[in-house]
Structures are given as structure tokens and as C-alpha cells.
Amino acid sequence: MTQRILLTGGAGYIGSHTYAALVEAGYEVVILDNFSNSARDVPDRLELLLDRKIKVIEGDVLDRAMLDRVFAKHDFDAVVHFAASKAVGESVKEPLAYMQNNIGGLVTLMQAMQAAGVFRLVFSSSASVYGNNAQLPIAETAERSYGNPYGHTKLVCEQIIEQTLASDPRWAVGVLRYFNPVGAHPSGLIGEDPAGVPDNLMPYIAKVAGGELPCISIFGDDYPTPDGTGVRDYIHVCDLADGHVLSLRSLFHEGKGHVVNLGTGRGYSVLEVISAYAQASGRDIPYLVAPRRPGDAAATYANPALAKEMLGFSARFDLGDMCRSSWEWVSTQAQSADA
């Protein structure tokens, strides 16, 4: 029998790629999104990509009455919860809005799930719950901490999930700690589309390659890393999407949850990413060295062993694939804007 999944935040960057992966894996999926951080045409693009009608509910996960109606109407077997606010800098300026949306959203959703008798949940957590001093490669057992309000919301959400699990054995929750998602779907139809000047490295480099921004600032070249620039574990968004399919499968088959890293286990420096992107795009990527960004860790990368052991997950795509797919998406977007 086809299992039915509610995808909150399914019009967003990771949510839209996961939608495609879940449909391809045979699940019946409904998107719930308030479009606060996603383009209105994402469902149309998904229809084009998958050649089928997409079911989208426009709504807010803080709206309990709406959630109750949605659960009453659809017989969901599980929920994948992406809907949240994710900009670290914005969270420092507006901590209360982040607490409300990320923590309030999870609590409201879990209450509605409980009332509807739906107890399987996949939750988008983040490597930000490890803070900046974890031993490398970072294992799930590393002590948790946070460096900003956004990271704090993810840590509190994980604690809320743990306490809820302890209170009721019917819950089975997959907590997925993403490292640095980048890249886009190979179709060129969906990808990351940040409004304004991007905060994150790869979307920024993409705009430099496309000529929208003049150069990239490297935030620090005096870190204790091989070339002095910051090291991160970049993971292709399509690999990440597949991780959600495996997480759900495990919840259905094992009937119990898991807390796992989703990363490649391989770190790349800022200079390595710039060089890989220049190669993928065939464009020059001018850069200058700027001071360190406050709060940045020198290096973070995952120990991916537990995700492999528990879910059978391992990343398929390398940095070249990530850059090529990003460039494909960015250049396709630019062409359609020019047309």
C-alpha cells in the first residue's frame, strides 16, 4: 500500500528535492508551505520535473486549527518537517521570531500529529548543534552546544523530540543532522534561490561566476587548516534528499527512530570550493581575503558511519558534481530571466 507523507516546507530548497526523491521512491506526498521563503512557481516546476499533479496546501505550521483539518482530511502515515527559518545572521537580529517559528512550529506540529495518531516524523536538524569545538570527524555522540539563536532552536527542537519520545513509545523520529547542503537537481528545474546577497559560500560563488557579484570574500586564511581557509563537509542536496527516503524507510521498517549525521565525511576548504566552481563553470572567480567571520569554526566534517550503518546512507556525489549542478541551475535561471 502506498504510504502518505506530509512534507512541511516542501516548496523550499531541501524540501523540493526531497519531494522529487520521495515521489520517485513511490510515496504519495502532500506539501504544506507558507511560501515565506520559497518561490511560488516551485510546485509548477515539480510538476514539470515529475510529470504529475502536485498537491500543495498553503498554510503555516503554527496554525493548529489548519493542521487539524489537514490531518483529518488526509490519512498521513508520516511527516517530514522542513518548515523553519534558517538564516543564522537574521536569527541574531530576530531571536524571538526564530524561537516562535522553529520551536513553536515543531511543538504545534507534534501536537497535531499526536491528536491525529500520526507518530512517525523526520526532523531537519543541523550540524550547528555541535557548536564549534567538536572533535573531528564529528560523531553523533559529540557534546551539543550552540553559537547563535538559529543553532539554539535546533538544539531545543532535538530536546523536545527526546522528551516527547520518552513520554510516549508510539513515537518514532528520525533526527537528521545536515552538514552543508549545496548543489541542485540535475534537471536544472529546482535549486537554491536565496533572496538578496547570499550568506552561504556556494550560492555566493555562484553569483560571482554568473557576474551578478564582483568577487567573493574569503573569511579568514589563517585557520589551522591545510590552506588556512575554513573547511566544511558539503553534501549534494540530492544525496541529502535520498537520506530522507532512507530515514522514512527505516521508520516504517524498524518502527524506531535514529539520530544521524548526513554528510560525506570529507571536508573541503573555501579555496578548494572556489577552484572546483571555477572549473565547473569555466568562469573566473575573483576573490579577496577578508577577516574571519565571527562565530565560524575552522573546520567541520561529519563522521558518516552511523548513517551508513543505520540507514544504509552514503553520499554518491563529489564536489565537482555539486558545483556543476549548481552552475547548471544558476545559468538556466539566468537564461530564463533574459528570455
* DSSP conformational letter for 127: G
CA dist., res. 98 & res. 337, Å (int): 32
Q: Where are the beta strands (DSSP E) in the chain?
A: 4-8, 28-33, 55-58, 78-81, 120-126, 172-178, 180-182, 216-219, 231-232, 234-236, 258-262, 268-269, 287-290
Q: Which burial class, exposed, middle or buried, applies to 196 when counting CB atoms under 10 A from its CB (0-12, 13-18, 19+)?
A: exposed
The answer to whether 125 touches 158, Cβ cutoff 8 Å, is yes
Residue 216 binds which entry of ligand NAD, ligand UDP, none, with Cβ cut-offs from 5 to 8 Å by kind? ligand UDP
Q: Is 158 in the site for ligand NAD (CB under 6 A)?
A: no
Residue 126 binds which entry of ligand NAD, ligand UDP, none, with Cβ cut-offs from 5 to 8 Å by kind? ligand NAD
Contact with ligand NAD (CB under 6 A) among 3, 21, 30, 34:
34
CA dist., res. 209 & res. 320, Å (int): 15
Contact with ligand UDP (CB under 6 A) among 105, 137, 191, 230:
230
Amino acid in position 192: E
Q: Is 178 in the site for ligand NAD (CB under 6 A)?
A: yes
* DSSP conformational letter for 235: E
Q: Interaction with ligand UDP in 287-316: which residues (CB under 6 A)?
A: 293, 296
The mark string for 118-137 relative to ligand NAD (x by CB under 6 A, - otherwise) is: ------x-x-----------
Catalytic residue among 150, 178, 277, 301: 150
Q: Is 11 in the site for ligand NAD (CB under 6 A)?
A: yes
Q: Is 200 in the site for ligand UDP (CB under 6 A)?
A: yes
Contact with ligand UDP (CB under 6 A) among 45, 177, 207, 232:
232
Q: Is 133 in the site for ligand UDP (CB under 6 A)?
A: no
**Is 150 a catalytic site residue?**
yes
180 versus 229: smaller Cβ distance to ligand NAD: 180
CA 165 vs CA 41, 168, 244: distances in Å: 37, 5, 20
Q: Is 37 in the site for ligand NAD (CB under 6 A)?
A: yes
Contact with ligand NAD (CB under 6 A) among 70, 77, 86, 110:
86
CB of 217 to ligand UDP, least distance (A): 5
Tell whether the torsion through CA atoms of 129, 135, 139 and 141 is positive or negative.
negative
CB of 206 to ligand NAD, least distance (A): 14
Contact with ligand UDP (CB under 6 A) among 80, 157, 270, 319:
270
CA dihedral 3, 19, 118, 114 (to 10 degrees): -170
| Beta-ladder partners of 138 | 302
C-alpha cell at 246: 532512507
Amino acid in position 293: R
Contact with ligand NAD (CB under 6 A) among 78, 83, 138, 315:
83
CA dihedral 12, 15, 18, 20 (to 10 degrees): -50
Contact with ligand NAD (CB under 6 A) among 147, 181, 220, 263:
181
Closest residue to ligand UDP, judged by C-beta, is 230
Q: How many residues lie near ligand UDP (CB under 6 A)?
A: 14
Q: What is the largest CA-CA distance in the chain?
A: 56
Residues marked as catalytic: 150
Residues that bind ligand NAD (CB under 6 A): 8-9, 11-15, 33-38, 60-62, 82-86, 101, 105, 124, 126, 178, 181
Question: Which residues bind to ligand UDP, rule: CB under 6 A?
Answer: 180, 199-201, 204, 216-219, 230, 232, 270, 293, 296
